[in-house]
Amino acid sequence: MLHIIGEVEDLAPWYYYADLVVEPIFEGDGMKTKTVEAMMFGKTILGSDEAFCGYEGLNNYLCNTAEEFIKRITDYKQNGVEKFNKEIRAIYLDRYSETAVLDTMKEAISKYVGD
């Protein structure tokens, strides 16, 4: 069943109970906050090229047409989907978490300024 909720104060419970996150985004610039939020919660994300702009490791979840989204959602509905996607959470921790970003920044600064 599909529920469209609108604005909420705290996303955590909504991500916790979600089976998957669908991001049919076709316009915009830069990395999408909603993508990294879903990754942080370890959610399977079905998204377009634009939804995944700037993110690596999500090609297995790419959908760019209505037909692709429908097929993938139907497949997950019939076969089930893990509420916690370890692969996506690992990508988040490795590349996009606060710790990973700080480590990358420290490395870049150290390269140009020194220790």
For residue range 76-109, list pLDDT tens digits in order.
999 988 899 999 999 999 999 999 989 989 988 9
pLDDT for residue 115: 60
Beta partners for 22?
46
CA–CA separation, 81 and 57 (whole Å): 18
Query: Rg for the chain (alpha carbons), in Å?
Result: 16
Break the chain down into helix, strand, coil percent, rounded to 5.
Answer: 50, 5, 45
pTM of the model: 0.84
DSSP state of 55: -
Cβ burial, residue 53 (10 Å; 0-12/13-18/19+): middle
CB 34 within 8 A of CB 55: no
